[in-house]
Every structure is written in C-alpha cells, then in structure tokens.
A and B are shown apart, each in its own frame.
Chain A
C-alpha cells in the first residue's frame, strides 16, 4: 500500500523552475531514496510534502487522500538546514518541539527520558545548546525528529556533520525505525549510503525526475553487459581468442593472475565467452560487473544533459 504519492507537482520561483511535473509513489514500510545533485529540487519537493510551501500545480496524497494540515503530526522531518535555539536548554527545547508536534507535555517528557537514556545523554538535559558540539546537537535533533513516532520519516542529508561512529549509530537507529514499520524518505547525494538502505529510488535533475524504480530494477536498467574475468596465462592469447565478438575494455596485471573486463558485442552468451577462453588460459573467477549507484547517478545525469 502506498503511504505517500505526489502527482505532477510543479513549482516555480522568481528566476528558476524548482520542480517540473514530478510524480513519485512511496510504499508503506519502504525506504525511499530521493537523489539528485545540489539544486536539483529535492528540498523543494520535501518542503511541499511537509506543507512548508505549496506547489503551483499538482497534488500530494497521504494514505490515499489529499494531504491535510494535521498530517504534520504523522510526519517527522529532519531538514538539511537544521539547528536549535542556541540559548535554550536542551531538555526544554526538546519538550517545546515535541509539543509543537502535538505531544502532551507528559508524554513528551516520558519518551524523552527513554531516548536520553538510550543515547546516554541525560547529563545534557539542563545544558544550553551552545555548550554542545555539533555532533551532539545532531543527536538531539534526531531525537526531536522521531520522538512523536511518526509513520513517515524524512531525512534530508542526515549523515552530514556526523563522525563515522555516530553516523553508524544513526544508521542503526534509522533501520530500527524501519523494522518498527515506519516509512523513510532519504534525500542525499551520498550514493554509498543509498545502496545499503534504500529499496526504491527516484533521481531528480534540473527540476525533472529522470529515473525512478526499485534499486534492483534501476541496476538492471543500467547493466552494461560487462563481465570481469580473472585468469592465469598470456593476455595475447586471450585477445586472439576473443577478437570479433567481444571487446576488452581494460586489462589489469596482478601478481598471481590478470583481470580483464569484457563486453559482449554481438549478443553472444556467457558460455560462448568461457568456451573461447578455456583452451587458452586457466580461469580463476568470472563475474558480472554491476554498476554502483554512483555510476548510475553520474551516467543518468550526463545522459539528460546530452539531451
């Protein structure tokens, strides 16, 4: 079942177009990656979903009906530009933000206690925010985002500003939220993190959606029919054996064996490739080259640029 969908959303600012006819659909319980270079329009789309700004055209549905103002209490949003009141005490501030999300003071206090214990940050309660380091502030912000146990969580560049250890803690917490049934939207240009956690991605470039689908499908779509073969033997024999039907993209010499990347040219099968090689060299390993999300990202963006 889809929890959120946007249909033909458009947004214009004075001097530029932020979104052009963007539609997305997010399944309940999934992790959705919203990707794109800086300035592509990701944050604008997230702001529309959070009802911070309104689209010029198009609609957004939440749980199958148009988005309502009261839905903010079911959504948690950690924006890219995030901060806290510097002179306010940590505990007081967390209570304030929780109450704005519709929690009662008592509930908020109880839940905050649990979270503060979990992160072992109880001593911070009466400290002013300005006394905390940036990483510490990010932890507080994360707690404030998830405290009202929203069904839909939106993280805009969540890992920026975290050291590797804290980034890992954060990642585990986010995955734990998914286990509990929450739906997640990640907006980022950090592709490595996307591969690990996302089920589904949409790529936005220059205000337009240029790619959309499950991670596996997107990968299939960008597969280049390339294979990596490691072997013991002479490279000259290999190139003689493959000439005509295959293209050797590159060749790396190793201490114990060499590797090449090969592309099928005339729709030949993998077995054909192996049959040609086995008489000449000893094969150590054979595998398909799967494009990384980073490659896909760069290729997709470049392709649209050429158009």
Chain B
C-alpha cells in the first residue's frame, strides 16, 4: 500500500514540475537575481568617467600647482588677468568650471566655483576637501615654524591613530571566531524571507490542489483505490519536493549565472581589490589608506566568512523549511477539503495567513535583536518559529532553546496532520454544504478509518 502513496507523490510532483509556470519561475528568478548584482557593475563599466578640467585662478598665490589631479578632475592654473575671459568663454576653452581663490582666503574661508552648468556634488566636495587639506597643511607648517620645537612635525605625525574593532564571538566550545553582525542579520533575513514566501506559495498550492480534486469530483474515484490519508500525504510530500526542487534550482542556477556572467562580461577583471577600490571611492575614503589596509581587510572578511557555520545554517534551514511547510500545509489542506469554492475559502484563510504574516514582521525585528524576549517567544511558538528562528540561527542559539523549539514544532506538526486528515476525510466527500467552524470541530470527532 505504501507503493500507492508513491504513485500519488509522483503524479503530484511531475504534473507541477512540468508546468510552464514552474519552469518559467525557476529560470526567471536566478536571472533576475544575478542581474540585480551585475547590471550596476556592468553599467559602471560601460560608463567611463568623464575627465573634467577645472581652471584655477589663485589670487592668494598660495596653492600654485598644489591641487592633486584625480581620475575625473584635472586642474589648469591660469593667470588672474585671464579671469574674465575664461569666465565668459568657459565652454570654448573646454573648462568644466572655474575656481577662484581670493587673496584673503585665510580670513574669509571662502572660494568661488563658477560654471555654466550645475556642478555635481562629487566635484564640489572633492575640490573643497582638497582645498581644506591644503590649507590645514599650510597652517600646520606655519605653526610648527613659529613654535620652534625640535622634530615637532614628526612627533605630531606620530599622534595619528587609526583604530579597528574586531567583534569576536566566543562559541560554546570556547573557540573564538570573528563574526559580523551585518552578515549574520543578512543571512537570517534572507533565509527567514525564503521560508515565509514558500509557506504561503506552497501551502496555497496544496489547498488549491485538494480543492481541484473536490470540485472536479475525482476524489471519490481515487479514494476508492487509495486511503484518503495516503492521498493527502502523497500530495503534501509531492508539493514539498516541488518546493525543494525550486530552491535548489535557484541556488544552482544563480551560482552558475554569476560565474558565467562574471567571466563573460567582465573577463574576470573585477577582483576583490578592485571591488574594494570601487566601494572605497564611492564612500569617499582616502585611497592610499584603503590600499594600505587592503590585504588586512581581505583577510578579515575571509575570517568572518569562515566563522559562519554554514553547515548548521543549511541544516536548520532545511528543518524549519520542511517543518513550517508541514504545519501550514496541513491547515491549508484542511481548508481545501472543507470548502466547495474559492470564495468560501476566504473566511478560513485569514486565521492561517495571519500567523505567517505576523512571524514575518517579528522576524524583521528579531534580525536586529536576536536575544530579546520577542526573539525567544517567537522562536518557541510553533506557529511563528519556522520564520523567527531562522533570524536567530546565524547569531547562534543555545542548544536547549533550539531543542525545545524543534520538539514543539514536531509535536504541533503531528497534531496538525492528525487534525487535517480528520477534516480531510470528511470534507472531500461533503458536497454542496457551507461549512462553519463549528462544523469543522464536529468532523474532528467523527469515527473513520
């Protein structure tokens, strides 16, 4: 008889996997996902930076040839007598802007940047920072000269300090591992979100499938060959395998696509150091400093990634994914069996969708505060634990809490399946009857096989 569950399971699995909508979604998501990562990089690649030349009129004569040229900014120093002419014919002379440093800059702390177009924020701030640096250096040099303290310049430089804080998590076996709160919350959020999406998507798939059999009136034909429980189990497991297939396909395809896209579009040009440069630039960090730290930083990222226990994350993800699915698909299945039409399903759907949505909202908070009371209770209550617990897993969860949460979930699954199969058996053969909650509770007490 076990064999029949297998036949049902095969049909449930194959008809779904062969569906166009499944195939499209399976291939579309990784493409979408990798394009989110690659299109910005690609655009950045295509968009070669424009080199702008700034004309500098330095009336103070303090900054002659002192401005450092960058990738996108070049400077040309012009005689103050040409000022008016350049100002008038900026475009013809190919100047992006005209920087006028007044004679009394030290008193006024003001310079003027003329342009015939809107100057970008980046250009303005680069010029401002350079000017500030130059003035600071100059002022400091003057001060050092006045104070006449031996080796003052060197001594001042020695006071420059740069501090780095490494967060280190002490695991239960006493080993210290580098951790990153940012990465942990990202992993928790993504895995929790995936479970949330799949609970709703595949729970409703089970419901629709049961309703289809009931409204098509095929169910009585089938339960004359298979026990209703076998049909229900074959269906739930079949749909679960569809979900797992989809997740595995998404991961595998995304990885393949990312590699293919990387080598095809970028020819492997973007390596870690370049990516860092890119990030540092956009963050406005001093390049030299970053380069100096580069090696160290890469080492650190590597250590943090090593510090994450991927095996246990994948293991717990699989458990809570399957557990949450079994719990909720039982409820969804019971509804599908109880009602005759989609419209009737609405009143029963709300109480089941609600805890899923609430757990998602709880998860968003727990990801930021994985040790609070909300995190604890959310990850214990079986209705919310599949989603909320995933937010805590990357931070590490005490063994007893994990064990308790898992046992509670398993116990509720057994209860839910018992309840669902009772309602299912009665519901699938009940036609043309509007069911109420009271009716459903009555069905639980029916004697059946």
Contacts and interface: CB of A to CB of B under 8 A. Distances in A.
A75 B4 CA distance: 16
B222 A100 contact: yes
Contacts of B429: 47, 52-53
B175 to A, nearest CB: 55
A102 to B, nearest CB: 8
Contacts of B442: 14
Interface stretch (B184-192, B223-231, B383-391): B223-231
Given A53-B449, A77-B224, A83 B4 contact: no
A83 B7 contact: no
Interface in B1-52: 1, 4, 7-8, 11, 15
Interface string B195-229: 00000000000000000110011101111111110
Interface in A135-175: 141, 144
A97 B222 CA distance: 7
A100 B218 CA distance: 13
Contact of B225 (A14, A54, A97): A97
Contacts of A208: none
Given A53-B449, A84-B216, 4 more contacts: A81-B217, A83-B218, A96-B11, A97-B222
15 contacts: A14-B442, A47-B220, A50-B224, A52-B220, A52-B224, A53-B429, A54-B448, A75-B224, A77-B221, A81-B220, A84-B216, A85-B218, A96-B7, A99-B7, A141-B221
Interface string B412-448: 0000000000000100010100000001001000111
A291 interface: no
Contacts of B431: 81
Contacts, number: 72
Given A47-B429, A88-B15, A99-B7, A82 B220 contact: yes
A70 B213 CA distance: 23
Contacts of A213: none
A86 interface: yes
B216 A85 contact: yes
Contacts of A13: 446
Nearest to A98: B225
A22 to B, nearest CB: 17
Interface of A: 13-14, 47, 50-54, 56, 69-70, 72-73, 75, 77-79, 81-88, 96-97, 99-102, 141, 144
A79 B216 contact: no
A97 B221 contact: yes
B447 A56 contact: yes
Given A47-B429, A52-B224, A72-B224, A100 B4 contact: yes
Nearest to A73: B225
Nearest to A86: B216
A38 to B, nearest CB: 12
A99 B6 CA distance: 11
A79 B220 CA distance: 7
Contacts of B221: 77-79, 82-83, 97, 141, 144
Interface string B327-339: 0000000000000
Contacts of A79: 220-221, 224
Contacts of B4: 100
Contacts of A14: 439, 442, 446
Contacts of B227: 69
Contacts of B15: 87-88
A83 B216 CA distance: 5
A99 B1 CA distance: 12
Contact of B217 (A72, A83, A88, A102): A83
Contacts of A69: 1, 227
B222 A51 contact: no
Contacts of A101: 225
A44 B23 CA distance: 43
A54 B217 contact: no
Contacts of B449: 51, 53-54
B224 A82 contact: no
A54 B216 CA distance: 24
A100 B216 contact: no
B340 to A, nearest CB: 12
A82 B447 contact: no
Given A82-B220, A83-B217, A100 B7 contact: yes
A13 B227 CA distance: 20
A141 B442 CA distance: 33
B276 to A, nearest CB: 53
Contacts of B228: 52
B218 A82 contact: yes
Nearest to B8: A100
B223 to A, nearest CB: 5
B448 to A, nearest CB: 6
B210 to A, nearest CB: 13
A96 B439 CA distance: 33
A155 B221 CA distance: 12
Most chain A beta carbons < 10 A, residue from B15, B223, B439: B223
The listed residue with most A CB atoms (<10 A of its CB), out of B216, B220, B223, B439, is B220
Contacts of B439: 14
B17 to A, nearest CB: 14
B445 to A, nearest CB: 9
A212 to B, nearest CB: 25
A111 to B, nearest CB: 16
Given A83-B217, A84-B218, A100 B226 contact: yes
Contacts of A52: 220, 223-224, 228, 429
A101 to B, nearest CB: 5
A274 B225 CA distance: 60
A120 to B, nearest CB: 24
Contacts of A56: 447
Interface in B218-246: 218, 220-228
A141 B217 CA distance: 12
A67 to B, nearest CB: 11
B438 to A, nearest CB: 10
B10 to A, nearest CB: 9
The residue among B11, B222, B442 with the most chain A CB atoms within 10 A of its own CB is B11
A156 to B, nearest CB: 9
A54 B446 CA distance: 10
A204 to B, nearest CB: 18
Contacts of B218: 82-85
A136 B224 CA distance: 22
Contacts of B216: 83-86
A99 B10 CA distance: 12
